[in-house]
Amino acid sequence: MKLQEFQAKEILKKYGLPIQAGGVAATAAEAEIIALKIGLPVVLKAQVLVGGRGKAGGVKIARTPEEVKTISAQILGMKIKDLPVKKILIAGAVDFEKEYYLGITLDRVSKSNVLIFSEEGGVEIEEVARTNPDKISKYEILNPKQIQNLKFEIPNDFIEKLYDLYVKNDATLAEINPLVSTKDGRFIALDAKMVIDDNALFRQPEFAKLRESTEVDELEAEAGRRKIAYVRLPGSIAILGNGAGLVMTTMDEVKRAGGEPACFLDLGGGSKAETVASCLELLTRDPNIKGIFFNVFGGITRCDEVVNGIIAAHDKAGVKVPMVIRLTGTREEEGKKLLAQTNFLTYAASMTEGAKKIVELSR
């Protein structure tokens, strides 16, 4: 999960990295109160989870209370890369001398944490990376003691603290761009970006709570609480299978048959009837679903368990849309016998056939 700039900066502060005084507002009036408390000039910054806010006009300096109000209202009315700006950060403006880039990220190729540093930080960093890659240094950090030997223009304890917070918060990215130096020799983090590893949320309760409270889709949030691997999609055909690869292939097949997936739902290996029933019950809450396609490859998962789960949920949750099932593997015959006794499950002998059937039935 990505953190907003103000959230990432709170973490920086906690770990002893200097940031500007600041506060978050949702209205121009709130912004003015905060600005007067901090002292003018201030920088007003759109809080959206995309980069390049500066270039899009989402970062502006205000020198008077009037400017704070007009610029805040303007930024709060903006969309940046399709995301509406709902909050702004008001921070004390800094008069800086030089902008640096400092980041630590997980590099999947070298399988290590990589430190990235540049003396040419700021909004043009991508341009620097493209046209002047020598200006960007990369170091694999295998042991944090390595940091002591670095000879950059910024203090090493800055890097040590960033590394510390990166590790302790299970981040896959911790980036400061720009990290600025001032005429009187101080260093301040003017912007911060952090990404937390979703797979670590079980041991990062604060982020898990944050995620819960900012989750936009109610169904995805509920699926998360039930530990169901579910992604809501804009189409009308729900797709369930056991195993992420199988579900993705099924989505392709449904698209090929002219349908649009309403979700990705991985039942998981060895799923019991109750799990299947819980998944199906969840889907009845999505009014856009016009048909449901189960693609079951029995291995650890037993075909008859899945069918039993569907029957239980159908009776209890009242599924009103057509359902097609393709099943093969462990206890296939038992599964088929069960579904022959129902009048709401259509059998398909292959994935391709099933995809065609569900597209037809849900028209």
Give catalytic residues, as residue numbers. Answer: 101, 175
By beta-carbon proximity to ligand GDP, the closer residue of 52 and 144 is 52
- Count of alpha carbons within 13 Å of 339, Cβ hemisphere only? 24
List 73, 83, 106, 123, residue binding ligand GDP (CB under 6 A): 123
- The site map against ligand GDP for 171-190 (x = CB under 6 A) is ------xx-----------x
Task: Out of 83, 94, 173, 317, point to the residue binding ligand GDP (CB under 6 A).
Answer: 94
**191 scored as a contact of Mn ion (CB under 5 A):** yes
Task: For the CB of residue 123, give the shortest distance to ligand GDP in the complex, in Å.
Answer: 5
Interacting stretch for Mn ion, rule CB under 5 A, among 12-20, 145-153, 185-193, 252-260? 185-193
Which region holds residue 226: left if phi is over 0, alpha if psi is between -120 and 50, else beta?
alpha
Can you read off the two tokens belonging to residue 193? 């970006």
Angstrom distance (rounded) from CA 240 to CA 307: 13
If one asks whether residue 4 binds Mn ion (CB under 5 A), the answer comes out as no
Nearer to ligand GDP, 73 or 94 (CB): 94
Binding mask 35-54 for ligand GDP (x = CB under 6 A): --------x-x-----xxxx
Task: State which amino acid sits at residue 202.
Answer: F
Minimum gap (Å) between residue 161 Cβ and ligand GDP: 19
Task: Please report how close the Cβ of residue 18 comes to ligand GDP at its closest, in angstroms.
Answer: 13
Among 4, 87, 88, 122, binds ligand GDP (CB under 6 A): 122
Smallest gap from Cβ 54 to Mn ion, in A, equals: 7
Is position 103 an interface residue for ligand GDP (rule: CB under 6 A)? no
CA angle 77, 79, 84 (to 5 degrees): 80
Residue whose C-alpha is closest to residue 7's, from 131, 132, 191, 212: 191
Of 247, 344, 241, nearest to 301 (Cα)? Answer: 241
Q: In the window 190-229, what residues touch ligand GDP (CB under 6 A)?
A: 190-191
Q: Are 293 and 254 in contact (CB under 8 A)?
A: yes
Query: Please, what is the minimum distance in Å from the beta carbon of residue 9 to ligand GDP?
Result: 10
Interaction of residue 47 with Mn ion, rule CB under 5 A? no
Q: Does the protein bind ligand GDP through residue 23 (CB under 6 A)?
A: no
Which residues of the chain form contacts with ligand GDP (CB under 6 A)? 43, 45, 51-54, 59, 93-94, 99, 122-123, 177-178, 190-191
